[in-house]
Amino acid sequence: MFVSLTRIKKVINNPISGWMFLWQYIKARLLKYKKIKNILPSDKHKFLIEDEAFLKLLEKNIADDIKIFDNVDLQNINWNYDYINKVSIPFKYYFNLREWIVKNSFKGFDIKNVWELSRGYYLKDMAIKFYQTNNQDYLKTYKRIIDSWIDQNTYLYSSNWTNPMEVSIRSLNWILSFRLITKKDPAAFDEAFRKRFYLNLNQSFVFLINNIETYPFKSNHYTTDNLGIFVLSLIFDNTHFIKKSFNNLVRSLKEQFDNNGVDFENSSNYQLLKIEAIMIAILLRKKNPNLADVLKFSEEQDSQLKNIYVFSKYLFKNDEDIFNFGDNDETKIFDIQPLKQKLEYLYRSIIPQDVDTMPSKTFGNSGYNFLKNEDFNVLFLRNNQKNGSHFHNDLLSFQLNYKGEDFFVDPNTFSYNLNSEKRAYYISTRHHNTCTINHQEQSKINKLDPFFRSKQKRVTVKKQSLLKSRDEVVLKIDYSRYSHSRSLIFNKDANKINIFDTFNGNIKNIEWNFYLPKDVIIKNDLKIKNIILLENHSKTLILEIPEMLALTINKTYISTKYNQEEEGTNIRLQFENTNHLQNLSFQINIMEKYLK
């Protein structure tokens, strides 16, 4: 059956998607008959590799042993195979194959593993090695990989033509690595290889302009699609799409981010992906002065870019690690580490100044708050203004890093398509450092389609006060028959955080959850039963909890990276409102040392 039963169920659940499916089907059929010309590039426009600072950034943290996944032989790659779960993907026309993927979601494989293989992040590593050493083995491997990919992924067929965002990321990494190699040796590729290489890029360009992702809303896919179109338009000197794609990207500054610079998708991963994509386009405009008259970038857009960058920089706990919230599949445009330095390079190349993120900062009605001093770095979140696909049920959750060590963390994502139960587990309210009231989810989780989500409850910002010695933030979430207010007070002089949770309405039971990474060791203070000592690499914090709450300490799973899980610890507190009280208040303390 061409249209899967899963698709039919999704259309019943969301009828508008049926019309979009029909429109995409028509476009896919027409695209099949569109002829693609073999056009060689004009080399008229500069790319990023012309910048020495960018080259130095590329050369950082390049491993001696270049590999894709641990079990992939670079000499013999199957491009339509999930190496992690050992599942082959059939060879079909891309639109039909999309239905096959929908039908077989949560059946023991994750299509993202196949796409990840084709993104080509590792190609820039080979190109850098060739650039540094002139070792022809790197060049031979690079050619073999490109030829192998083209051989196994006929235009419009195979799993690697099913997702426009993946086509865009692949094209961008092909261009980056190819330009780096030819910078070292302009004669590195013969004419036959160049024609084959650029034919594939032109096919990618035609595919993207006919499959740009705007439904159910313009999101990270739309942004990444447009960056691919923009760079490919520069390669093939297509003035119409240079202008159109750039305008789409800079409009995203306001369409997808609020005035505080916070992305509507409420995912730190996609926040950073989008700003990387937008800044690459703006920087390319700057490096090609001939585009200034064609591509407009206003002072207002410049100011909004700064807002987005400031918020994005606050997400970093250090050069590598970020406060994770929402979905995180580790998607990026270019896999350049450290991530923080990559974004700093892009921003400073556009706006020759940086921003300081040491003091505490709140981000207005977005509901994101960073409470900081030299020892503590706390994220307290958040609000959701629009519908999205990548948020988790983590309202009023918090994360805490103390003296460079994580103590309270977001359990992350694990996988999108491997297991529906695990997917729901990682999204759920119970799996975040917040409260579950009356066993109710903050937002309904649809196991059939966990990317189609109902809008979360709205969070009201009741107070945001940042002082030299004391920060206080109060957020409130309203349910239909009750409400929950959480106040975080950070006493900077004493290195103490008070968490006040107040509940009003028809409260039957409350459950608090706190998630700790595997490195945190828990010790109960035997003298005081409501005191828990938390140790992480010689750093110690004290957790003080109300005595009337039932305490359990459980082993749990935390996803440190996409597709990876490890054991962590869950501290769970519970309260049964047997007296049917309408107003309840509890105080939980996190402190550096006992206070008299």
Check: CB of residue 551 under 8 Å from CB of residue 541. no
Per-residue confidence (pLDDT) for residue 11, from 0 to 100: 64
Per-residue confidence (pLDDT) for residue 25, from 0 to 100: 77
Tell me, yes or no, whether 2 lies in a domain: no
Per-residue confidence (pLDDT) for residue 595, from 0 to 100: 64
Tell me, yes or no, whether 93 lies in a domain: yes
Tell me, yes or no, whether 421 lies in a domain: yes
**Alpha-carbon gap, residue 25 to 34, rounded angstroms:** 15
Check: CB of residue 442 under 8 Å from CB of residue 478. no
Residues 130 and 195 grouped into a single domain: yes
Structure tokens at 29: 């059929």
Phi, psi of 380 (to 5 degrees): -125, 125
Per-residue confidence (pLDDT) for residue 4, from 0 to 100: 64
**Final residue in a domain of this structure, among 185, 203, 221:** 203
Tell me, yes or no, whether 16 lies in a domain: no
Burial class (CB in 10 A: 0-12, 13-18, 19+), 190: exposed
Strand-pairing partners, residue 379, are 370, 399
Residues 431 and 477 grouped into a single domain: yes
Check: CB of residue 411 under 8 Å from CB of residue 426. yes
Residues 187 and 234 grouped into a single domain: no
Domains identified in the chain, total number: 3
Q: CATH number of the domain that 561 lies in?
A: 2.70.98.70
Q: Is 435 helix (H, G, I), strand (E, B) or coil?
A: strand
**Final residue in a domain of this structure, among 305, 338, 357:** 357
Per-residue confidence (pLDDT) for residue 450, from 0 to 100: 75
**Final residue in a domain of this structure, among 203, 225, 255:** 203
Per-residue pLDDT of the chain (596 residues; tens, 9 = 90+): 456 666 676 666 666 666 677 777 788 888 888 888 888 887 889 999 988 999 999 998 787 777 776 678 878 899 999 999 999 999 999 999 998 998 888 999 999 999 999 999 999 999 999 999 999 999 999 999 999 999 999 999 999 999 999 999 999 999 999 999 999 999 999 999 999 999 999 999 999 999 999 977 899 999 999 999 999 999 999 999 999 999 999 999 999 999 999 999 999 999 999 999 999 999 999 999 999 889 999 999 999 999 999 999 999 998 889 999 999 999 999 999 899 999 999 999 999 987 888 899 999 989 999 999 999 999 998 766 677 889 999 999 999 999 999 999 999 999 999 999 999 999 999 999 999 999 999 988 887 777 877 667 889 999 999 999 999 999 999 998 999 999 999 999 999 999 999 999 999 999 999 999 999 999 876 567 789 999 999 999 999 999 999 999 999 999 999 999 999 999 999 999 999 999 999 999 999 987 65
Residues 377 and 507 grouped into a single domain: yes
Residues 122 and 154 grouped into a single domain: yes
Residues 216 and 285 grouped into a single domain: yes
Tell me, yes or no, whether 105 lies in a domain: yes
Residues 405 and 537 grouped into a single domain: yes
Check: CB of residue 589 under 8 Å from CB of residue 498. yes
Residues 399 and 449 grouped into a single domain: yes
Residues 64 and 144 grouped into a single domain: yes
Per-residue confidence (pLDDT) for residue 1, from 0 to 100: 42
* Gap between the terminal Cα atoms of the chain: 71
Tell me, yes or no, whether 19 lies in a domain: no
Residues 457 and 586 grouped into a single domain: yes
Tell me, yes or no, whether 351 lies in a domain: yes
Residues 245 and 332 grouped into a single domain: yes
Task: Give the range of the structural domain holding residue 442, as residue numbers without chain letter.
Answer: 361-591
Residue 291's alpha-carbon distances to 39, 136, 285, 493, in angstroms, are 22, 36, 6, 52
Check: CB of residue 31 under 8 Å from CB of residue 230. no
Check: CB of residue 223 under 8 Å from CB of residue 278. yes
Residues 522 and 430 grouped into a single domain: yes
Tell me, yes or no, whether 484 lies in a domain: yes
Pairing of strands 531-536, 470-478: unpaired
Residue 354's alpha-carbon distances to 199, 304, 565, in angstroms, are 40, 15, 36
